[in-house]
Amino acid sequence: MFDQRLYDEVDLQPYPLLFVTISGAHLYGFPSPDSDYDLRGVHILPVEDVVGLEPPEETIESSEVRDGLQIDLVTHDARKFFEMLLKRNGYVMEQLYSPLVVKTTSQHDELKVIAKDCLTVFHAHHYFGFSQNQWDLFDKERPRRVKPLLYVFRVLLTGIHLMRTGEIEANLLTLNEDFKLPYIPDLVARKLAGAEQSTLEDADLTFYTQEFERLRAELEAARDATHLPEVPVGRDALNDLLVRLRLGG
């Protein structure tokens, strides 16, 4: 059970929802006491909205403050979301498999089974690119902050784990139970301690640069050794589910 304000926000959405989960820092395992809640999910447009002349609301975004709680909610229509699943988009996979579930349905469970057949070796490219973007953000700031560095390591460990196991895991602390990187608990503690502890000295940069490069090499090796296929094979099952969702079945 989560904060009731999250359920209240979900209940206001204009279309039926396939699922809504929590993403962001709460999913990644290092939310601050004042962290926003990032809700992500899938809505189902009625048939008349997708066959008519008016452009359908494929993506709905809202940002609300409910009694002091910042809630950012983004949902995609099922067709758009399914199309993203068929591409090398690790972000939507993390939303789908988030264990922090605010709204679910039986079709959500069905989709999680189907989506396993959409995971491919090329999802590694998502994690290569995402980690590089986060590293660039970390490296350009002065002073350098702990938060983007945690995102760097979270992304790399998620990618390596996916290539090795075929499973999506986005929680950095859970991932580190296997990777056992000794500096992760300290970085998380510093991030949670607030602004005074959440920056890094320049002297730390050499070590973290070496770790960044080492983990990217591990991701590359895991990609080369993975048993994941090169192309997704879940398209027909996604199409069948989409038709049933549109028809209310």
14, burial (CB in 10 Å: exposed 0-12, middle 13-18, buried 19+) = exposed
Please tell me whether residues 115 and 131 are part of one structural domain. Answer: no
Residues 75, 145 within the same domain: no
- In sequence order, what are the residues at sequence separation of 6 or more whose Cβ sits closer than 8 angstroms to the Cβ of residue 240? none
To the nearest 10 degrees (0 to 180), the angle between helices 184-193 and 146-165 is 140
| pLDDT the model gives residue 48 | 94
Indicate whether 114 and 9 sit together in one domain. yes
Residue 137, both tokens: 């953000």
Give residue 33's pLDDT: 85
The span from the CA of 163 to the CA of 7, in Å, is 34
Q: Is there a single domain that holds both residue 236 and residue 214? A: no
Are 80 and 135 members of one domain? Answer: no
User: Which tens digit of pLDDT belongs to each residue from 14-33?
Assistant: 999 999 999 999 999 999 88
Beta strands, E only, 57-124: 59-66, 69-77, 101-103
Neighbour-count burial for 160-199, b at 16+ CB within 10 Å, e otherwise: bbbbbeeebbbbbeebbeeeeeeebeebbebbbeeeeebe
Cα 118 to the center of its chain, rounded Å: 16
Same domain, 221 and 146: yes
Torsion angle of C-alpha atoms 150, 152, 157, 160, degrees rounded to 10: 180
- Let me know whether 236 and 115 are in one domain: yes
Q: Report the alpha-carbon distance of residue 237 to residue 107 in Å, rounded.
A: 12
Tell me the H-state helices in 106-234: 106-115, 123-140, 146-165, 172-179, 184-193, 205-225
Give how far Cα 242 sits from Cα of 78, 113, 218, Å: 7, 14, 37
User: 3-class SS at 20?
Assistant: strand
The per-residue pLDDT string of the chain (249 residues; one tens digit each, 9 = 90 and over) reads: 899 999 999 999 999 999 999 999 999 999 988 899 999 999 999 999 999 999 999 999 999 999 999 999 999 999 999 999 999 899 999 999 999 999 999 999 999 999 999 999 999 999 999 999 999 999 999 889 999 999 999 999 999 999 999 999 999 999 999 999 999 999 999 999 876 568 888 878 999 999 999 999 999 999 999 999 999 999 999 999 999 999 986
Distance of CA 141 to the CA centre of its chain: 24
Tell whether 24 and 97 lie within a shared domain. Answer: yes
**77-78-80 Cα angle (round to 5):** 70
Same domain for 92 and 179, yes or no, is no
- Please state the domain count of the chain: 2
Range of the structural domain that residue 161 is part of: 123-225
Is the domain of 201 the same as that of 115?
A: no
Q: How many Cβ atoms sit within 10 Å of the Cβ of residue 249?
A: 8
User: What CATH number should be reported for the domain holding residue 60?
Assistant: 3.30.460.10
